[in-house]
Structure 1
């Protein structure tokens, strides 16, 4: 049967007070010892299936879980067992039986969890929610990871009740929204231990990049929007949790930089998705959208500093720049990004955006499609193609004048290129037409080239500030000269790419 739940990591500073709050609700205490199974080649994990045996207060229960229809949903099938042994035949009739019955290798225990759970059911608005506070360990091969989670599962009622209760607990105790399951975290640990060497636990931090957008054959705009938004939010929330969640203290500097970068990519993709679907689903006007832009900028300040210090400056040193002591700044403090990611403001925004993605107004969307078609005579697909071609033409026309654009105009063009590229990806499977592969490839190349140019502008501004000091370091003038020479080369390269893009075929409705 399907289950819908929200999960949060509990920061160390909130555990005692949250425990007291849960205890005051007269919860039931459970002792849960679970063993998770997979093959040596991780066939179940690759199929996104989790299989476990769990002792629940003395009763063994076999459970198989798999992703559901959306970010919140899980398929779950439970079967009581007389002892701690698997019975795959009990899963006949479930969607996962075929996967389990066709494994190429034998199942074996790969990791286990030992959890003390405090659980209580709460009536909230029109829903009943089971709140569970889990404390314990996740264990594999002698390595243990702590578990400190608060789960809220919707037992009955509507999704808004689940989110309203979750938001209350999140804001009061500084909880971090976490999309990883115990099984996902455990599989990552078990995979690290397979070669027998002492594990590098920083590998528990997984950088979430953009996923492959896949739509079903119905071509329904509302479902397509939810798929696109869902992937964007997965990218944002998972990378935010990587910065602020339970394993965040393990992150290396390089991982932290990548987490911030991919978090911001996720925000750009989300905003591009809102823009693409705006004629039918005007989601970008919410207060959360405006506030998310503010956090995007705050993370961007740290990202700019990382680019200067860890990308451009090493290249300058390799080119012969004199030694330079970088001025101290709070942007160099890794705790800054972690604090931003963990902030109650951002976490509340992410929770609300997740709710909005699951409750898109399908009826209003269909009515909007019908109204637009009645006025224009166009189908939704034709409108989307026309919209993408318009953006493509705007980008090409601006690109033809690239050599005379100001840095600010080039930055604006870069944002339009990103929006167009992401929109191609969002609509690729939705439209009954193939996007010109040449155009998509060129857009990716242009985006990267413009990104490099933007990094050079950022570095130029940084070193110009050093050069404006009363006693400017010689390295500052060296850097400015080298950076401007690189800008000239890059501007020429970008112009050539835009020239090639102008020859690309437009989309056909």
Structure 2
């Protein structure tokens, strides 16, 4: 199993890295040109595998990487590598390397794979290579500078790979944090092969949504914690590039949801694995940065567009929308800068290290922990629901938060409970969260419009018209709190599989 941490840096910082005291002796330099192979229908990619052949010191080396995971930038993948006599794959030799691993042998046994393989893209880099010891860990450090090419189209490569040769994976985070003290870095959650496939498929950076987490029924708590937190971190990090380089509001929304899921997960584990306060503060900071931009996106996309569509809503609303758009774009730029900041990189590296160091200390089964935790959250939800009052908007907000925490917790641990009951429970909580959330969105929109009026007094009339419309909406579209209470009281927690 190959374990790597991938980091991006700007080309202007390459010299600083090359002469960094942590790296010691001068680097060994290699020129590496690797061709990646797959079928026209991307058979290997569809099965989570990548196959390349590249020349290293005059020898052709064939490598297949497959499966594994990425958690907070830490790439763990199966790897089979060996010499071949040509610049084209030798599937027979690859099968011998794989041995008796039926899953990956079956991927290679698809009909006519040998004849259907073709080179899809080229990764051409100059590699500076160091091998060093750091706090008892043996680490290979590589700086790759070059490009990925597909039919004349190129994307640049300028990244560091920290590969663990021997020792504790958390040591990669520690070493990266030491580099971060002197050099601005970003974690990379996609590898060169994935970037090459993006050229092949001509895909941009689409929104990345939370992936289902299928925990085994007998999984230990020490295994469940990194699985749950890693799932949240993947949700956050796979939207990074789109938030920085793109303009799709949904990518920012998904990244913010990822942060919310992470905060909920950290609260779930707080009794057995309390997160350091400074780390929690950085998570809260990230949520605030993304949340400020998301609130303005919601105001533009739903609230103001509805007002403008009303028969009497056109008077001055175009100007209000333009002002809100300017603010939304500014907030999005601020969110992008937060993602690019050293504070964000430090947060992700520190979270990864804490997660790996904390998980082995936990005892017990995830099933017992899930059952106890869900019972506590269910009681808290019913308590919040009983306290809801029409004249107290905060009480409905607290119930919505409790419903969200319960939903996230069951989504994390759904594999430990009976599927039919899980679906019914999640459906009810999602509906309650949506109904109470609509009221909250209107309240947030009113606050944002008040801020806009203070900054742009020349548009006060149109803005106050919009605020009046929202006040009327809140009065006429308030959630039926009695109905919500009845539905929550009727809920039964899903039984566990054991």
Per mean C-alpha deviation after superposition, the further-off stretch among 300-309 and 32-41 is 300-309
1:433 Cα offset (Å): 7.3
Structure 1 CA distance for aligned equivalents of residues 18 and 480 of structure 2: 59
1:304 Cα offset (Å): 1.6
CA contact (8 A) 1:60 1:80 kept: yes
Residue 407, structure 1, aligned to residue 407, structure 2: no
Structure 1 CA distance for aligned equivalents of residues 434 and 112 of structure 2: 42
CA contact (8 A) 1:424 1:435 kept: no
Residue 419, structure 1, aligned to residue 392, structure 2: no
Residue 503, structure 1, aligned to residue 490, structure 2: yes
1:196 corresponding residue in structure 2: none
Structure 2 CA distance for aligned equivalents of residues 215 and 226 of structure 1: 11
Structure 2 CA distance for aligned equivalents of residues 152 and 405 of structure 1: 57
1:67 corresponding residue in structure 2: 67
1:154 corresponding residue in structure 2: 164
Give the match's secondary structure for 1:150: strand
1:216 corresponding residue in structure 2: 216
Structure 2 CA distance for aligned equivalents of residues 217 and 161 of structure 1: 31
Structure 2 CA distance for aligned equivalents of residues 343 and 480 of structure 1: 36
Consecutive unaligned residues of structure 1, counting only runs of 5 or more, are 193-202, 370-378
1:500 Cα offset (Å): 2.8
- Cα RMSD after superposing both structures: 2.7
CA contact (8 A) 2:141 2:163 kept: yes
- TM-score, structure 2 as length reference: 0.88
Q: How does 1:283-298 map to 2 (within 5 A)?
A: 283-298=274-289
1:429 Cα offset (Å): 0.9
2:269 corresponding residue in structure 1: 277
Give the match's secondary structure for 2:78: strand
Structure 2 CA distance for aligned equivalents of residues 472 and 207 of structure 1: 35
Structure 2 CA distance for aligned equivalents of residues 69 and 147 of structure 1: 22
Residue 322, structure 1, aligned to residue 348, structure 2: no
- TM-score, structure 1 as length reference: 0.86
1:455 Cα offset (Å): 1.9
1:174 Cα offset (Å): 1.0
| Alignment deviations for residues 412-470 of structure 1 (CA, whole Å, 9 cap, x no partner) | 32222211101011111124676342221121222233333322111111223455676
Query: Residue 123 of structure 2: which of 95, 113, 126 is its match?
Result: 113
1:91 Cα offset (Å): 2.3
CA contact (8 A) 2:292 2:331 kept: no
1:376 corresponding residue in structure 2: none
Query: Residue 353 of structure 2: which of 349, 352, 355 is its match?
Result: 355
Query: Residue 140 of structure 1: which of 133, 142, 150 is its match?
Result: 150
Distance 1:470 1:232, change over 3 A: closer
Structure 2 CA distance for aligned equivalents of residues 494 and 113 of structure 1: 59
2:333 corresponding residue in structure 1: 335
CA contact (8 A) 1:385 1:507 kept: no
1:144 Cα offset (Å): 0.9
Q: How does 1:404-483 map to 2 (within 5 A)?
A: 404=390, 406-431=392-417, 435-466=421-452, 473-483=460-470
1:382 Cα offset (Å): 4.7
CA contact (8 A) 1:446 1:498 kept: no
Structure 2 CA distance for aligned equivalents of residues 432 and 439 of structure 1: 11
Q: How does 1:89-100 map to 2 (within 5 A)?
A: 89-92=92-95, 94=98, 95=101, 96-100=104-108
Give the match's secondary structure for 1:267: helix
Structure 2 CA distance for aligned equivalents of residues 128 and 467 of structure 1: 59
Q: How does 1:108-257 map to 2 (within 5 A)?
A: 108-192=118-202, 203-244=203-244, 248=245, 251=246, 253-254=247-248, 257=249
Structure 1 CA distance for aligned equivalents of residues 38 and 259 of structure 2: 35
Structure 2 CA distance for aligned equivalents of residues 344 and 101 of structure 1: 46
Aligned residues: 477
Query: Residue 85 of structure 2: which of 82, 93, 115 is its match?
Result: 82
CA contact (8 A) 2:223 2:359 kept: no
1:171 Cα offset (Å): 3.3
| Alignment deviations for residues 182-204 of structure 1 (CA, whole Å, 9 cap, x no partner) | 11111122012xxxxxxxxxx43
1:308 corresponding residue in structure 2: 299
Consecutive unaligned residues of structure 2, counting only runs of 5 or more, are none
Distance 1:433 1:219, change over 3 A: farther
Distance 1:115 1:174, change over 3 A: same
Distance 1:4 1:331, change over 3 A: same
Structure 1 CA distance for aligned equivalents of residues 276 and 481 of structure 2: 33
Per mean C-alpha deviation after superposition, the further-off stretch among 451-460 and 107-116 is 451-460
1:217 Cα offset (Å): 4.3
Structure 1 CA distance for aligned equivalents of residues 369 and 205 of structure 2: 41
Structure 1 CA distance for aligned equivalents of residues 377 and 187 of structure 2: 35
CA contact (8 A) 1:70 1:358 kept: no
CA contact (8 A) 2:297 2:328 kept: no
